[in-house]
Chains A and B, each alone.
Chain A
């Protein structure tokens, strides 16, 4: 009896795989050029849809048949829009073109597809090793990454389930279906996988608690309510490889015996919702979801729930309330959702990245996974690196790589010859780490020890022009705006922190405010109800600890060292640099506060100036005459000449 079920599953999967292989082989043997366009949200924002239209138009104009494939995001935001052309007729390997403008798109079609000129000046590299064009893998941003979860992101069509199956997709699910559920959890235990949502809780433990709970109904939830400023890992994964997530979810559901599940995606991710909806339909159509999956005795129904954009709904108890139709507010744990979750049923909530990692673990074994990264934090870390960094985007690296290697070697360091100042890890719950921490390894515990938090993977790099007091103020403003208001410490405490920080950035702070900031922060950390409140003071505490001198400069000298805080700075025109008779700045000023001074040079009327900085941009580079100074009272006084009429 049992053997027949196993046979049935294996036969069903083999049939799916061979069908998908046939489609893939037919595509591969076609002589037509294949054009891959990155059409995830990031690509579209950079203009990929326009490029797509231009390429299609030109192809039909030139009467060339080509296979245009819309892929997801490859993670190289700095290079978007990205077009990869695989045209074997010309004897070149697949070539990646970057920052494709309408003009470049024109060239790609006419010169490369049309005439076989690979346009060396516009390509980033070849996608495979070859003799003709340097491979992109020689470029550290590609070669030093280790792609486990994002391996296929940007290379496959997220809306084509057959392509995913032909690459071995859903084989782990087929394997999990014939495994004893306990064995699946054992394999995850062996792997040492820790939740990628923030705190790094061992994933197998949640599954184990829910798995051993006695309940006729259990639920699996994928948390894709990504809300940290500057973080977009989950969106990218859903938009680029949704089936990997569904496969991981199905395996996790099978391990605890869950028969239904929810993918909680924020509604600000319309493309991710659309792609996920199609993925669910396609998977159900091939019996990879639904009743008796692949002929087994396991059934799973998944549906999408769209969050309304409250940051706090990323907290699991708030997420559950929100699904139940209430206002999303966290509640005390225990009981943990794995014991008593949605509708009182055992519920396991996992992050997109955690679930997307599971298929690889089932495929290659827990032991294989445990050898990647460090012993306490095995596997890879996926970061969205943004801010003052040359090659911003999505990076996947093994845990244990140092921050320096990640920021400088892989991502190209700080642009415009500026100095590194800090890196903010973990969003509003994280902290700002200065240069002395650049050599710590990236893993859950080391980053926590330094005062930040792994978080879900947002990383903001800041150069010397960043005011750390202002950064702390920004994050507290975010927390206060997103606080659900339930508990006293988060609702009122973070407001006080914000008020004090605002005072300091305006030059109205006192030294005693620093003590209040510190003591209040520690009380909020101890007293808050949920994880968001407990971690909300981290940006304040880390900046106070590592950049205290900046706070003191703001308070005692009324000086903003980074020249950022508006109330403490002033603009002036350096008369030695200002060009006689030039009036480029005059028209740019929205409040008309620039006047003509002696020698037909210009001056700024400080009583009118709103410090917008438009004149800095307007002043020709070769003069560079508009300067910013802090404290504001040090601004040189320029005499107005008497109007001669």
Chain B
């Protein structure tokens, strides 16, 4: 059923029950987000960037997890929404190695887009950079390499992997700031479909997951 909601005092028509974030994005209203993918039944709401204020809600809520309903009044840029977004973005950037010059994602980098949208700089201002435990590039997979210093832990790679293969060939592992992507130790090219698939590489927004081929052609890979 089509319903009408209002976003920043603009009336929008939407199918009832759709994700609020999707409705906004489809209608040209950008809300910063990293972990949301269309078609997710239960979005992870883990990046904590897509906050909005909704009339009647006590606190800002992540719009990816809200289903639109008739008469909903949404505000995407109240001071408290911006406050949370600035904070979340600053935290993400404090754990992301900023090296745009040699990054393969620089042309379509969501972080640069968010930084422009929120009008804050990429480099964190209040806190220093923090490292994740073992920052060596993970090379224990036959065709993928993983760089935790770039990873923003959006989990899109896991989502796409499960969607395509019905099971996971990579997973989150570790605790706290050391949590990152890990492989299950399958090293046999015959038993894992990764070399033919590489969907995770294509979907990674920050080039933290790369195929060996891509890595070798990147400015970083060819210099080392």
Which residues on A are within 8 Å of B, measured CB to CB?
327, 329, 331-332, 480-489, 491-496, 499-500, 516, 519-520, 523, 526-529
Contact = CB atoms under 8 A, between A and B. Distances in A.
Given A488-B47, A529-B45, A495 B177 contact: yes
Contacts, number: 102
Given A492-B130, A527-B48, A327 B172 contact: yes
B176 A480 contact: yes
A481 B175 contact: yes
B26 to A, nearest CB: 21
Nearest to B64: A332
Given A492-B92, A492-B94, A496-B130, A481 B48 contact: no
B59 interface: yes
Given A492-B91, A493-B91, A520-B127, A487 B175 contact: no
Interface in B129-162: 130, 153
B10 interface: no
Nearest to A340: B42
B48 A482 contact: no
Given A492-B95, A499-B127, 8 more contacts: A327-B173, A485-B153, A485-B174, A487-B46, A488-B48, A489-B48, A489-B88, A529-B46
Interface of B: 42-49, 51, 59-60, 62, 65, 83-84, 87-88, 91-92, 94-95, 126-128, 130, 153, 171-180
B176 A483 contact: yes
A344 to B, nearest CB: 11
Q: Is the interface of A mostly helix, strand, loop or mixed?
A: helix
Given A331-B44, A496-B127, A527-B48, A489 B62 contact: no
Contact of A482 (B87, B92, B175): B175
B12 to A, nearest CB: 23
Contact of A332 (B42, B87, B171): B42
> Which has the most chain A C-beta neighbours within 10 Å: B48, B59, B95, B153?
B48
Nearest to A512: B126
A394 to B, nearest CB: 29
A331 B65 CA distance: 10
B65 A491 contact: no
Contacts of B60: 526
A597 B131 CA distance: 46
A499 B59 CA distance: 28
B87 A523 contact: yes
A491 B49 CA distance: 14
A-B interface, 8 closest residue pairs, ranked by CB to CB distance from nearest: A485-B179, A492-B91, A523-B87, A480-B176, A495-B177, A483-B176, A332-B65, A487-B46
Contact of A331 (B42, B51, B172): B42
B36 to A, nearest CB: 12
Contacts of B65: 332
Given A495-B176, A516-B127, A527-B84, A488 B46 contact: yes
Nearest to B179: A485
A484 B179 contact: yes
Contacts of A486: 44, 46, 153, 172, 179
Contact of B153 (A481, A491, A519, A527): A491
B123 to A, nearest CB: 15
B88 A527 contact: yes
Contact of A488 (B83, B92, B174, B178): B92
A493 B92 CA distance: 9
A331 B51 CA distance: 16
Given A332-B62, A492-B177, A523-B87, A529 B130 contact: no
A428 to B, nearest CB: 13
Interface-central residue, B51, B59, B126, by most chain A CB under 10 Å = B126
A499 B130 contact: yes
11 contacts: A329-B172, A485-B174, A485-B175, A488-B46, A488-B88, A491-B176, A491-B179, A492-B130, A493-B87, A495-B130, A496-B91
A312 to B, nearest CB: 9
B37 to A, nearest CB: 15
A523 B46 contact: no
A125 to B, nearest CB: 47
Contacts of A482: 175-176
B175 A526 contact: no
A518 B127 CA distance: 13
Contact of A523 (B83, B130, B178): B83
A481 to B, nearest CB: 6
Contact of A491 (B44, B59, B177): B177
A489 B176 contact: no
Contacts of A487: 45-48
Nearest to A327: B172
B176 A481 contact: yes
Contact of B126 (A329, A481, A494, A516): A516
Contacts of B130: 492, 495-496, 499
A480 B59 CA distance: 25
Contacts of A516: 126-127
Contacts of A481: 175-176
B84 A484 contact: no
B149 to A, nearest CB: 13
Given A495-B177, A496-B94, A520-B127, A527 B46 contact: no
